[in-house]
Amino acid sequence: MHVVIVHPEQWNGGSDRCTVALIRHFVSQGHRVTWLTTMIDEYWKNHTFDGVEIREVGWKLHPGDWWSQNVALGWHMVFSNLNPDVAIIDHSASCVPMIKWRFPQCKILFYCHFPQQLVTPSRFFLYRWYAQLIGIVEEELFSQIDQIFVNSNFTATQFCKVMPNIEKNKVRVVYPPCDIDWIVSESEKPISRAQRARNEVYTFLSMNRFWPEKRLDIIVEAASILKRRGYNLRVQLAGSVMPHIPESRIYYELLQKMTEELDVSDMVSFIPSPSDRVKFQLYQQCDTALYTPPNEHFGIVPIEALDQRRPVIVCDSGGPAETVLEDITGTKIAKPCGELLAEAMLHHMNKRDWPELDTEEGYAKQRHRLETEFSTRGFCGNIDRAIAEMMGNLDISTTEPSAPVMETIVHQPIATEVYAKQQQKHPAALSRRAHA
């Protein structure tokens, strides 16, 4: 079978790791795999993609504008010598009509990380008209797709809200693979905090790319609040700085300035663009992971942290609300707020034992859940079954049993009341948020 994967901008996020998982899976099954992309980040320069034909269409397009990038990749397919049986697309459905016209026999599977009309930035005047146009035509584009996967119940809810006319039986919730790093980095086995030397100072780790919507600023605020109360702690802000995108670089510099203004430079340190090996070393060294974006589509970081046996503090919205169990594997705050985060961080500093992560018996339960719902094996198994259904009589075998398809059931647990108190209005903090 000839599989073409259309994925613009290969950075180092959850969607990019989905692409890597798909490539390696289809190659391992002996299929011909062609990967179309507009850019591959330096992060992947040392990774080998044996058995895959990579076509990097190096057109000068606006970073993050997946609509125009997938149009460009679609045109490349139209005038190429490719003849795909299956096309797997993500980010934008803008290339679907071209592929359907040029390759009428080709089945299309779309992995929706979030509806593009909800993530396209408004930016300035002309771009707003462009973004509105995307919203108008996106539902029509998705109606031409054979199978649609979404990455969480939260995304499924938002998808059905903005595209109500799409057939519900075409939409499935399939969590993305979160153990891909073990494949590419061969990291060490996870160890609990009880199995390693205790940190002299309680250490929090944020593993997220530097981007305004990730709300890393509330971590700096929380550190400042706790310092004023007399607590000693350590905060590490690790993640990708995307040099091609001005918003990422500006936000990174703003956070550094913010630590100086709030006098927490002695507590907060920055680790830009860590390698896989360094990333998992940081997980093992920390006591609690922080994940602060609200309404995150899925959020791969909480799963990585739980896999590494570390409790997580997240916002009680979006995908993380589905993956973190309140006061069992972590804590949820009602909204992104420095005061609420400080309270949750203090709770973790006082709660030294997390049996579901620290003990072997408790971790075995969590590990089973992770392997069932969030593994590469389960993800690729769902892909295989969807393709087999689309192709009719095509038999696609998997080497191992995979996870069952998730039902689209919306479940948003409520954060405990202690972490949902009213946010205090600090003029300086509001000014910083507005600047961010």
Give the pLDDT band (50/70/90) at residue 247: confident
Please tell me whether residues 224 and 94 are part of one structural domain: no
The residue type at 291: Y
Residue 351, pLDDT > 80, answer: yes
Please tell me whether residues 266 and 310 are part of one structural domain: yes
Most distant CA atoms of the chain, gap in Å: 67
Distance in Å from the first CA to the final CA of the chain: 47
pLDDT at 367: 85
In a domain, 115, yes or no: yes
Give strand ranges (E) for 249-354: 268-272, 288-291, 312-315, 330-333
pLDDT at 401: 39
The residue-averaged pLDDT of 57-86 equals 87
pLDDT at 122: 53
In a domain, 123, yes or no: yes
Please tell me whether residues 77 and 13 are part of one structural domain: yes
pTM of the entire structure?
A: 0.78
Please tell me whether residues 278 and 132 are part of one structural domain: no
Please tell me whether residues 336 and 282 are part of one structural domain: yes
Dihedral angle, C-alpha 275, 70, 169, 399, nearest 10 °: -50
Please state the domain count of the chain. 2
In a domain, 186, yes or no: no
Residue 395, pLDDT > 80, answer: no
Q: What is the DSSP letter of 358?
A: H
In a domain, 427, yes or no: no
pLDDT tens for residues 142-151?
A: 999 999 999 9
67 vs 238, which has greater pLDDT? 238
| Contact criterion met (CB below 8 Å) for 336 and 312 | no
Lowest mean pLDDT among 79-83, 86-90, 177-181, 272-276: 177-181
The residue-averaged pLDDT of 4-30 equals 91
Residue 422, pLDDT > 70, answer: no
Please tell me whether residues 67 and 166 are part of one structural domain: yes
pLDDT at 178: 78
Residue 426, pLDDT > 60, answer: no
Percent residues over pLDDT 70 in the chain: 84
Please tell me whether residues 173 and 104 are part of one structural domain: yes
Give the pLDDT band (50/70/90) at residue 123: low
In a domain, 219, yes or no: yes
In a domain, 195, yes or no: no
- CATH code, domain with 27: 3.40.50.2000
In a domain, 368, yes or no: no
The residue-averaged pLDDT of 266-294 equals 94
Q: Which domain holds residue 349?
A: 203-358
Please tell me whether residues 172 and 211 are part of one structural domain: no
Please tell me whether residues 386 and 353 are part of one structural domain: no
Please tell me whether residues 129 and 222 are part of one structural domain: no
pLDDT at 124: 54
The residue-averaged pLDDT of 379-389 equals 91
pLDDT at 414: 31
pLDDT at 433: 43
422 vs 207, which has greater pLDDT? 207
In a domain, 423, yes or no: no
Q: Which of 5, 174, 176 is nearest to 88 (CA)?
A: 5
HSE-CB for 68 with a 13 A CA cutoff: 12
Structure tokens at 170: 């075409």
Please tell me whether residues 257 and 133 are part of one structural domain: no
The sign one gets for the Cα dihedral 154, 15, 129, 244 is positive
Please tell me whether residues 14 and 94 are part of one structural domain: yes
